[in-house]
Structure 1
Amino acid sequence: MSIARRSRPIARRSPKMTIPPRPGSASQLRRESVRRCSAWQPPALRRRSVGVVVSGLLPGLLVVAAAATASGPEDRTPFCSHPVRVLTPDGVPIPQARISPVGSEGGATTDAEGRACLADAPAGTTLMVTASGWAVGGGSLAATSDAPEREIVITLQPAFGEEMVVSATGKLRRLQDVPVHLQQIGRDQIVASAARSLAEAIEFTPGLRIESNCANCNTTSVRLLGLEGPYTQIVVEGQPTVSSLALVYGLEQIPARMLDGIEVLKGSGSALYGASSVAGTINLLPHQADHTHVDLAWESSRLQGNDSRSGGSLRGLVDWGAADGRSSASVHGQRDEVPAVDVDGDGFSEVTRRELLAVGARGHALFGDDGGWQLTADLNWTDAARRGGDFERIALPPDQTAVTEAIDTRTVAGSLRLLHVVSSRVDLRAALSRVEIERDSYYGADFDPDAYGASSGATTVAGLQVHHALRRSTLTWGVQAERDELVDVQLGYGRQIEETNENVGLFAQEDRALGGGFSLLYGLRVDQHSAIDDPIVSPRGALLWNPSDDVTLRAAIGTGFRPPSTFDEDLHIELVGGGVARVVRDDPELVEERSRSALFSLEWRPTLGRRNSAAFELSLFETRLADLFFQREQDDPQTPELELLRVNLGGARVRGIEGSGSLRVGSAVQIDGGLVLQSARFDDPEPDFGSRDFYRTPELYGTLSLRWQPAPRWSLFVGAIHTGEMLAPHYAGFIPEDRLERTPFFLTLDANASHTFELGGERQIVLTVGLRNLTDEYQQDLDRGPLRDPSYVVGPRAPRSLFAAVDLRF
Structure 2
Amino acid sequence: MIFNFKFYSLVAFFIILNMICVRAQTYKLQGSVSFDHSKTSSVTIALSPVSMKVHTDTAGNFMFLGLKEAVYQIKATAIGYKPALFTLALKSDTVLKEIVLEEDQEQLQEVVITGTQKEVSRLESPVPVEIYSANFFKRNPAASVFEALQNINGVRPQLNCNICNTGDIHINGLEGPYTMVLIDGMPIVSGLSTVYGLSGIPTSIIERVEVVKGPASSLYGSEAVGGLINIITKKVSSAPKFSVDLMSNTHLEHNADLGFKLQLNSKVSVLTGINYFNFNKILDRNQDHFTDMTLQNRIALFQKWNIERRQNRVFSLAARYLYEDRWGGETRWNKSYRGGDEVYGESIYTSRWEMVGNYQLPLKEKTFLAFSLTQHNQNSRYGETSYIAKQQIAFSHLTWDKKINQHDLLFGAAVRYTFYKDNTMATNKEYGNDHEKVWLPGLFVQDEIRFNQKNTLLLGLRYDYHSLHGSIFTPRLAYKYSLNQFNSLRFNAGTGFRVVNIFTEDHAALTGARKVEVNTKIRPERNYNVNVNYAAKIFTPDATIIGLDVSLFYAYFTNRIVPDYESDVTKIRYDNLNGYAINKGVTANLDLTFTWGLKLNTGITYQDVSLVNDGIKQQQMLTEKFSGTWSVSYHIKPLHLKADYTGNIYGAMRLPLLSELDPRNPISPVWSIQNIQLTFTKFKRAEIYGGVKNLLNFNPAKHAPFLISRSQDPFNKNVVFDSKGQALPTADNPYGLVFDPSYVYAPNQDIRLFVGFRYNF
TM-score (norm: length of structure 1): 0.73
Secondary structure of 1:202's partner? Answer: helix
1:366-385 equivalence runs, <5 A: 366-368=308-310, 370-371=311-312, 373-385=313-325
CA displacement at 1:509 relative to structure 2: 0.5
Q: Is the 8 A contact 1:134 1:162 kept in 2?
A: no
Provide the residue aligned with 1:522 in structure 2: 459
Residue 727 of structure 2 corresponds to residue 776 of structure 1: no
Provide the residue aligned with 2:652 in structure 1: 725
Residue 368 of structure 2 corresponds to residue 429 of structure 1: yes
Provide the residue aligned with 2:209 in structure 1: 262
Provide the residue aligned with 1:59 in structure 2: none
Provide the residue aligned with 1:456 in structure 2: 390
Q: CA RMSD in A?
A: 3.2
Residue 552 of structure 2 corresponds to residue 620 of structure 1: yes
Compared CA separation, residues 519 and 321, structure 1 to 2 (3 A): farther
Provide the residue aligned with 2:527 in structure 1: 595
Q: Which has the higher contact order (CA 8 A, sep 6+)?
A: 1
CA displacement at 1:153 relative to structure 2: 8.6
Secondary structure of 1:247's partner? Answer: helix
More off after superposition, 285-294 vs 485-494: 485-494
CA displacement at 1:597 relative to structure 2: 0.4
CA displacement at 1:506 relative to structure 2: 1.1
Secondary structure of 1:692's partner? Answer: strand
CA displacement at 1:756 relative to structure 2: 2.8
Provide the residue aligned with 1:765 in structure 2: 686
Partner Cα separation in structure 2 for residue 500 and residue 699 of structure 1: 39
C-alpha offsets along residues 603-648 of structure 1, whole Å, 9 cap, x if unaligned? 22222125221111221110000111133579999xxx73634334
CA displacement at 1:162 relative to structure 2: 4.1
- Give the letter aligned to residue 674 of structure 1: G
- Give the letter aligned to residue 590 of structure 2: G
Q: Is the 8 A contact 1:269 1:542 kept in 2?
A: no
Residue 365 of structure 2 corresponds to residue 365 of structure 1: no
Partner Cα separation in structure 1 for residue 342 and residue 132 of structure 2: 42
C-alpha offsets along residues 674-714 of structure 1, whole Å, 9 cap, x if unaligned? 1011111223368xxx6521111111101111232221643
CA displacement at 1:342 relative to structure 2: 1.9
- Give the letter aligned to residue 343 of structure 1: R
- Give the letter aligned to residue 188 of structure 1: N
CA displacement at 1:409 relative to structure 2: 0.2
Partner Cα separation in structure 2 for residue 186 and residue 772 of structure 1: 21
Residue 321 of structure 2 corresponds to residue 417 of structure 1: no
- Give the letter aligned to residue 746 of structure 1: W
Provide the residue aligned with 1:297 in structure 2: 245
Partner Cα separation in structure 2 for residue 491 and residue 278 of structure 1: 27
- Give the letter aligned to residue 692 of structure 2: L
Secondary structure of 2:742's partner? Answer: coil
1:479-518 equivalence runs, <5 A: 479-489=413-423, 498-515=435-452, 517-518=454-455
Compared CA separation, residues 277 and 597, structure 1 to 2 (3 A): same
Provide the residue aligned with 2:347 in structure 1: 406
CA displacement at 1:797 relative to structure 2: 5.2
More off after superposition, 690-699 vs 768-777: 690-699
Compared CA separation, residues 251 and 401, structure 1 to 2 (3 A): farther
Compared CA separation, residues 290 and 633, structure 1 to 2 (3 A): closer
Q: Could you list the runs of 5+ residues in structure 1 that have no partner in the other structure?
A: 1-88, 91-132, 138-151, 304-309
Residue 751 of structure 2 corresponds to residue 800 of structure 1: yes
1:32-47 equivalence runs, <5 A: none
Q: Is the 8 A contact 1:363 1:378 kept in 2?
A: yes
Compared CA separation, residues 168 and 664, structure 1 to 2 (3 A): same
- Give the letter aligned to residue 314 of structure 1: A
More off after superposition, 494-503 vs 261-270: 494-503
Partner Cα separation in structure 2 for residue 355 and residue 289 of structure 1: 29
Partner Cα separation in structure 1 for residue 216 and residue 532 of structure 2: 11
Residue 569 of structure 2 corresponds to residue 644 of structure 1: no
Provide the residue aligned with 2:677 in structure 1: 752
Q: Is the 8 A contact 1:243 1:459 kept in 2?
A: no
1:554-565 equivalence runs, <5 A: 554-565=490-501
Partner Cα separation in structure 2 for residue 525 and residue 231 of structure 1: 18
C-alpha offsets along residues 544-599 of structure 1, whole Å, 9 cap, x if unaligned? 111223321111110011024445334664444xxx233242323x2110000001
Secondary structure of 1:203's partner? Answer: helix
C-alpha offsets along residues 358-409 of structure 1, whole Å, 9 cap, x if unaligned? 11211101112x32x3211112111011100111324653236532111010
Partner Cα separation in structure 2 for residue 223 and residue 524 of structure 1: 26
Residue 381 of structure 2 corresponds to residue 442 of structure 1: yes
Compared CA separation, residues 697 and 636, structure 1 to 2 (3 A): closer
C-alpha offsets along residues 146-202 of structure 1, whole Å, 9 cap, x if unaligned? xxxxxx997234874641111111111111111112111112212332132111232
Compared CA separation, residues 334 and 568, structure 1 to 2 (3 A): same
1:137-536 equivalence runs, <5 A: 155-157=102-104, 160=107, 162-268=109-215, 271-290=218-237, 293-303=241-251, 310-321=252-263, 326-339=267-280, 340-368=282-310, 370-371=311-312, 373-394=313-334, 396-398=336-338, 399=340, 401-420=342-361, 422-423=363-364, 426-444=365-383, 448=384, 451-489=385-423, 498-515=435-452, 517-533=454-470, 535-536=471-472
Secondary structure of 1:318's partner? Answer: strand
Compared CA separation, residues 587 and 400, structure 1 to 2 (3 A): closer
Identity of aligned residues (%): 21
Provide the residue aligned with 2:734 in structure 1: none
Q: Is the 8 A contact 2:577 2:612 kept in 1?
A: no
C-alpha offsets along residues 69-108 of structure 1, whole Å, 9 cap, x if unaligned? xxxxxxxxxxxxxxxxxxxx99xxxxxxxxxxxxxxxxxx
Q: Is the 8 A contact 1:343 1:351 kept in 2?
A: no
Compared CA separation, residues 567 and 277, structure 1 to 2 (3 A): farther
Secondary structure of 1:189's partner? Answer: helix
The number of residues matched between the two structures is 636
CA displacement at 1:468 relative to structure 2: 0.8
Q: Could you list the runs of 5+ residues in structure 2 that have no partner in the other structure?
A: 1-43, 46-77, 83-98, 714-738
Partner Cα separation in structure 2 for residue 321 and residue 222 of structure 1: 37
Partner Cα separation in structure 2 for residue 187 and residue 789 of structure 1: 38
Q: Is the 8 A contact 1:574 1:790 kept in 2?
A: no
Q: Is the 8 A contact 2:695 2:751 kept in 1?
A: yes
C-alpha offsets along residues 209-242 of structure 1, whole Å, 9 cap, x if unaligned? 1111100100111111211111111122222232
C-alpha offsets along residues 255-307 of structure 1, whole Å, 9 cap, x if unaligned? 3333211111111157311112111111121233215510123222122xxxx
Secondary structure of 2:683's partner? Answer: strand
TM-score (norm: length of structure 2): 0.78
- Give the letter aligned to residue 329 of structure 1: V
Partner Cα separation in structure 2 for residue 255 and residue 401 of structure 1: 38
CA displacement at 1:422 relative to structure 2: 4.2
Q: Is the 8 A contact 2:495 2:526 kept in 1?
A: yes
Partner Cα separation in structure 1 for residue 105 and residue 391 of structure 2: 47
